[in-house]
């Protein structure tokens, strides 16, 4: 009996059935722990991607608004943080706890950044950095005391330089006798208003893109480079005869002025006389990286960039007495923009109009078909006609035309052929612009009581053309290494 009992105990001791259950139980604990870790890590990674997307969107939105002085507001709106007032890109499963915005002037030459300008209460800037922090709630890690995980994302964006459609740009400059006056804003030294305007327009030529396919451009046909990207044309009013090529503006050449031609709306204007000084050209620079203008370019000649050898576009002689009339120049410029866009599909049109806004040309300055009807072509209600022409232009072509207006020494009264509210040159220039963001006033206009709400701190013509140039391209993300002291 005792022997049987010992044998039974031995057999039980040697029996290994059921031990695997213990091992499986222990392994399941480890496996579940690893699964829980993987799941929580997946949630963290997914949340980080959401946070980075929100931060990128906020940075791009803010950089777009740098020229409007509202970059920080735009960042907060797109940040995804309810606490920061976000109305876009809000992720319900992601709690963004902080949004930090820094603005700076990034001077790196690698990324071809736009110039730094003071807009509104912002410091001088051309880029911004956004840092967002979020808290990710954890599920399984709470077992070991981790209830949440903080994560951060950083994004840096420049105000412009991103790819956009190639542009056809028409610059329409007032060349009436008042433009011979010294710049009243005091921001151009001893230059005349015309010279100051031309100097500003050179900034646009120095920053637009002449050609595709590399830094250097290959010469093409007259006025062009091969594979052109942006093309620019100068217009002026009053009109000039066909004999007034850009060479007439150099070395004392005198342009031959003519009464205002009145082209029919939507019909090609007669070439002689014409508002167009230089046709649409892309040879303003021979390298995408160069800020030096091509002195063989008619655009450079007309802009006065080769001074003192060339004075650029001249104003009418004081004795000739031509007075401002916008509408004909606007209709002419827009028609030729449409022709250029037709010849260059997938391009965007832009029209820049600079003047004091006071259109009061007498009947003696006008072509014979001018009437007293008050509608184009007429020597009555001239400021209203200018607004009508610009609003028509804004609706033309593929994607419409961006119409910019620069009120230069503009007053709040002075359109003597118009009734309220078009009797105000300032009101006229404001409503010539296709959006309020495209309306600019210089320092002297501001002193006269004519102010741009959206661009009120951009008061020199150089700054204005820099701002316009930035708006012609898109904001873009740039590497974090470009940020100062990174």
Q: Based on the fold, state whether residues 142 and 185 are members of the same structural domain.
A: no
Are 363 and 426 within one domain? yes
Give the residue from 435, 410, 298 showing the smallest Cα distance to 354: 410
Residue 115 CA, distance from chain mean position: 12
Asked whether residue 143 carries a pLDDT value surpassing 80, the answer given is no
The residue ranges of DSSP E strands in 335-391, in sequence order, are 348-355
Contact 154, 480 (CB under 8 A): yes
Domain presence at residue 8: no
Question: What region, left, alpha or beta, does residue 120 occupy, with left being phi > 0 and alpha being psi -120 to 50 degrees?
Answer: left
On whether both 59 and 185 belong to a single domain, the answer is no
Q: Which residue has the tokens 């007429």?
A: 378
pLDDT band at 1 (very low <50, low <70, confident <90, very high): low
Closest to 90 (Cα-Cα) out of 99, 78, 82, 80: 80
Locate tokens 């964006």: which residue?
Answer: 157
Q: In which element (H, E) is residue 135 found?
A: strand 127-137
Q: Look at residue 401 and tell me if it is in a domain.
A: yes
CA separation for the pair 210, 224 (Å, rounded): 9
Whether residue 210 is predicted with pLDDT greater than 70 in this model: the reply is yes
Would you say 465 and 204 are in contact if contact means Cβ atoms under 8 Å apart?
yes
Residue 173, beta-bridge partner list: 236, 354
Residue 252 in any domain: the answer is yes
* pLDDT tens sequence across 380-423: 999 999 999 999 999 999 999 999 999 999 999 999 999 999 99
Supply the pTM of this predicted model. 0.79
Within 13 Å of residue 315, how many CA atoms lie on the same side as its CB?
Answer: 24
Residues 377 and 281 both lie in one domain: yes
Q: Can you give the pLDDT at residue 33?
A: 59
The tokens 């015309």 sit on which residue? 194
Does one domain contain both 150 and 50? yes
* Confidence band, pLDDT 50/70/90 cuts, at residue 20: low
Q: How far apart are CA 43 and CA 45, in angstroms?
A: 6
Residue with tokens 């974090």, as numbered in its chain:
480
Indicate the helix (H) or strand (E) that contains 430: helix 425-432
- What local confidence, expressed as pLDDT, does residue 248 receive? 62
Average pLDDT over residues 229-257: 76
User: pLDDT band at residue 107, thresholds of 50, 70 and 90?
Assistant: confident
DSSP secondary structure string, 88-107? SS--TT-EEEEEEEEEE---
For 415, half-sphere exposure in the C-beta direction (CA atoms, 13 angstrom radius) is 30
d(CA 124, CA 85): 25
Task: Identify any residues that bridge with 131 across adjacent strands, giving them in sequence order.
Answer: 100, 154
Do 143 and 203 belong together in one domain? Answer: no
> Are 185 and 70 members of one domain?
no
Highest mean pLDDT: which range of 276-290, 342-356, 359-373, 443-457: 342-356
Q: How many domains does one find in the chain?
A: 2
Contact 162, 178 (CB under 8 A): no
Give the end-to-end CA distance of the chain in Å, rounded to a whole number.
87
2 is a domain residue: no
Q: Tell me the HSE value of 213 on the side-chain side, using a 13 A CA sphere.
A: 8
Segment (H or E) for 170: strand 167-174
Residue 41 has φ and ψ, to the nearest 5°, of -65, -35
Q: Is the pLDDT of residue 4 over 70?
A: no
Position 190 scores a pLDDT of: 87
- Is there a contact between 344 and 396 (Cβ–Cβ < 8 Å)? no
Would you say residue 448 lies in a domain?
yes
**Could you write out the DSSP letters of every residue in 345-414?**
TT-EEEEEEEE-------GGGB-TT-BSSSSSSBSSSHHHHHHHHHHHHHT-STT-EEEEEEESS--SS-
| Structural domain contains residue 10 | no
Whether the per-residue pLDDT at 244 is higher than 90: the answer is: no
Q: What is the pLDDT of residue 473?
A: 81
Most confident of 11-15, 258-262, 403-407, 459-463: 403-407
Contacts of 352 (CB under 8 A, 6+ apart): 169, 170, 171, 172, 204, 404, 405, 406, 468
Asked if residues 127 and 158 have their Cβ atoms less than 8 Å apart, the reply is yes
CB 128 within 8 A of CB 63: yes
In this structure, are residues 170 and 352 in contact, taking their beta carbons and an 8 Å threshold? yes
Report DSSP letters for 13-26, one per residue: HH--TTHHHHHHHH
Q: Which two tokens stand for residue 473?
A: 């391209």
At 485, list the tokens: 């002291």
Q: Would you call 256 helix, strand, or coil by DSSP?
A: coil
Q: Which band of pLDDT confidence, cut at 50, 70 and 90, is reported for residue 378?
A: very high
Rg of the chain's alpha carbons, rounded to an integer?
Answer: 32
Ranges 183-197, 326-340, 374-388: which has the least confidence: 183-197
Shared domain for 154 and 85, answered yes or no, is: yes
User: pLDDT digits over 318-329, tens only?
Assistant: 556 789 999 999
Residue 368: count other Cβ atoms within 10 Å of its Cβ: 7
Q: Which structural domain, as residue segments, surrounds residue 278?
A: 167-455
Q: Are 165 and 348 in contact (CB under 8 A)?
A: yes
Answer yes or no: do 99 and 215 share one domain.
Answer: no
Residues 156 and 172 in one domain: no
Task: Name the least confident of 77-91, 287-301, 376-390.
Answer: 77-91
Ranked by mean pLDDT, which of 95-109, 132-146, 330-344, 471-485 comes out on top?
Answer: 330-344
Same domain (yes/no): 104, 189:
no
364 with 438, same domain: the answer is yes
Q: Give domain status of residue 40, yes or no.
A: yes
């Amino acid at each position: 009996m005792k022997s049987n009992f010992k044998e039974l105990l031995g057999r039980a001791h040697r029996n290994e059935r059921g031990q695997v259950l213990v091992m499986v139980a222990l392994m399941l604990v480890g496996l579940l722990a690893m699964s829980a870790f993987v799941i929580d890590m997946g949630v963290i990674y997914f949340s980080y991607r959401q946070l980075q997307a929100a931060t990128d969107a906020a940075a791009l939105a803010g950089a777009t608004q740098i020229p409007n002085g509202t970059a920080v507001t735009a960042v907060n709106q797109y940040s995804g943080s309810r606490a920061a007032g976000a109305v876009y890109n809000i992720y319900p499963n992601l709690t963004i706890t902080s949004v930090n915005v820094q603005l700076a002037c990034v001077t790196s030459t690698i990324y071809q950044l736009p110039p730094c300008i003071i807009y509104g209460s912002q410091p001088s800037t051309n880029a911004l950095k956004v840092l967002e922090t979020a808290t990710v709630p954890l599920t399984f890690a709470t077992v070991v005391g981790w209830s949440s995980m903080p994560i951060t994302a950083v994004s840096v964006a420049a105000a412009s330089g991103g790819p956009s459609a190639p542009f056809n740009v028409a610059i329409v400059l007032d060349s009436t006798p008042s433009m011979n006056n010294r710049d009243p804003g005091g921001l151009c030294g001893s230059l005349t208003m015309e010279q100051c305007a031309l100097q500003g327009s050179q900034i646009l030529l120095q920053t637009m893109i002449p050609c595709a396919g590399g830094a250097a451009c290959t010469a093409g046909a007259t006025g062009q480079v091969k594979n052109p990207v942006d093309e620019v044309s100068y217009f002026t009013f009053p009109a000039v005869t066909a004999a007034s090529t850009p060479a007439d503006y150099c070395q004392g050449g005198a342009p031959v002025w003519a009464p205002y031609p009145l082209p029919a709306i939507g019909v090609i204007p007669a070439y002689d006389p014409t508002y167009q000084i230089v046709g649409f050209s892309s040879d303003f620079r021979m390298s995408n990286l160069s800020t030096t203008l091509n002195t063989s370019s008619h655009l450079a000649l007309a802009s006065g960039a080769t001074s003192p050898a060339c004075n650029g576009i001249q104003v009418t002689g004081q004795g000739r007495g031509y007075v401002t009339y916008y509408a004909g120049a606007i209709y002419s410029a827009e028609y030729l923009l449409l022709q250029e866009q037709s010849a260059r599909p997938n391009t965007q049109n832009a029209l820049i109009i600079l003047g004091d806004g006071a259109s009061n040309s007498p009947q003696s300055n006008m072509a014979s078909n001018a009437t007293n009807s008050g509608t184009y072509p007429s020597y009555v209600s001239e400021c209203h006609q200018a607004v009508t022409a610009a609003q028509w232009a804004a609706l033309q072509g593929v994607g419409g035309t961006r119409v910019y207006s620069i009120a230069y020494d503009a007053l709040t009264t002075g359109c003597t052929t118009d009734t309220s509210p078009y009797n105000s040159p300032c009101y006229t220039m404001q409503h010539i612009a296709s959006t309020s963001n495209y309306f600019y006033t210089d320092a002297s206009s501001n002193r006269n009581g004519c102010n741009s709400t959206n661009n009120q701190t951009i008061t020199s013509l150089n700054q204005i053309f820099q701002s316009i140039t930035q708006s012609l391209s898109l904001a873009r993300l740039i590497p974090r290494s470009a940020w100062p002291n990174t």
